[in-house]
Structure 1
Amino acid sequence: MSQPPYAPPVQPPPPSGRWEPERVEAVPGTEFGLVQFKVVPITSGLAIGSLIAGVGAILVSTLVLCFGLTGANGGWGGLVAGAFCLTSVLAGGGAITVGLVARRQIRRSGRTGQVRFTGRGVAVAGISCGAAGVGIALVSLALTLVLQLSSSGS
């Protein structure tokens, strides 16, 4: 039997931007090496969800104000504003909670060989929007109730 002809070693494909080697460590006593690839950072999905919920809380809190002021004279404003206020408080509370969890996830990520999350500013924006939505909703509900009580007492 004859031996197969010598073939040159296979060259790895050029980096395409997705799989770029960060470092290569030789394995002692062999011709092999260990390649550690760069891990591309990704935006935290929790941070994005927090921002979406926070913006939703602000939008619903404007409904609290609009329906509350419109229905204050008719006597139904407090009831409708209260229902929307509950929705806004739940969405805002969720945005705050998920934003805090996202900040912790981002802070703890990025160890060697692990996925690194980004989006700290997005998480802070979600927390801020959630808190603003809750505040606007509660102040709007209080204003609605004061106007409704003053119009029914006249």
Structure 2
Amino acid sequence: MSQQPYPYAPQVPPPPPAGRWQPERVEAVPGTEFGLVQLRVEPITSGLAIGSLLAGIAAILVSFLVLCFGLAGAGPGWGAVVAGAFTLLSVLGGAGAIIVGLVARRQIRRSGHTGQVRFTGGGLAIAGISCGGAGAGIALGGLALSVVLQL
């Protein structure tokens, strides 16, 4: 009685999820009985758009630190210096959010040709651009307010 050391079990791949693998177009290969199938590619949310939104939200949060430190330190005299440091951080983050958001909008606009990945997230990119501009604006306004109050 000989036993196999490893019993053989055929590996059958699982079927693809329903509706995920759908042909977009089928082209016959001339002179053969074969055809070329191009599958429909699912849209992907743009990572640049998500990054733009995150940077814009961070710029807004840091701009509120500018307001808090600028107002709290106006009496003792250190408010404008600390607010200036956080303003620089917020303006850099806001500018980065605007630039990355614009690049994301271009990426989304140029994607989606037949057989290529289609990116989505135009609203996220616009929100990132808006939040980045608002964060930089609030930070600059907060810095101006802290300088005026410190004088």
Measured against the shorter chain, the TM-score band is: 0.7 to 0.9
Please name the residue that 2:91 is paired with.
89
Q: Which secondary structure state, in structure 1, belongs to the residue aligned with residue 27 of structure 2? A: strand
- Identify unmatched segments of 5+ residues in structure 2: 1-14
CA distance in 1, matches of 2:16, 2:61: 49
Aligned residue pairs total 137
Shift of 1:17: 3.3
What CA RMSD, in Å, does the superposition of the two structures yield over aligned residues? Answer: 1.2
CA distance in 1, matches of 2:24, 2:108: 21
Q: TM-score of the superposition, structure 2-length normalised?
A: 0.87
Shift of 1:82: 0.4
CA distance in 1, matches of 2:16, 2:126: 39
- Identify unmatched segments of 5+ residues in structure 1: 1-12, 150-154
Q: Which secondary structure state, in structure 1, belongs to the residue aligned with residue 49 of structure 2? A: helix
Give the letter aligned to residue 87 of structure 2.
C
Relative to structure 1, the CA distance from residue 39 to residue 134 in structure 2 (aligned partners, 3 Å threshold; closer, same or farther) is same
Q: Which secondary structure state, in structure 1, belongs to the residue aligned with residue 75 of structure 2? A: coil
Give the letter aligned to residue 137 of structure 1.
A
Please name the residue that 2:54 is paired with.
52
Shift of 1:24: 1.4
Which residue of 120, 123, 136 maps to 2:122?
Answer: 120
Identity %: 79
Aligned pair 1:36/2:42, yes or no?
Answer: no
CA distance in 1, matches of 2:24, 2:138: 49
Aligned pair 1:136/2:149, yes or no?
Answer: no
Give the letter aligned to residue 23 of structure 1.
R
1:44-75 per-residue CA deviation (whole Å, 9 max, x = no partner) reads 00000000000000000000000100000000
CA distance in 1, matches of 2:53, 2:85: 22
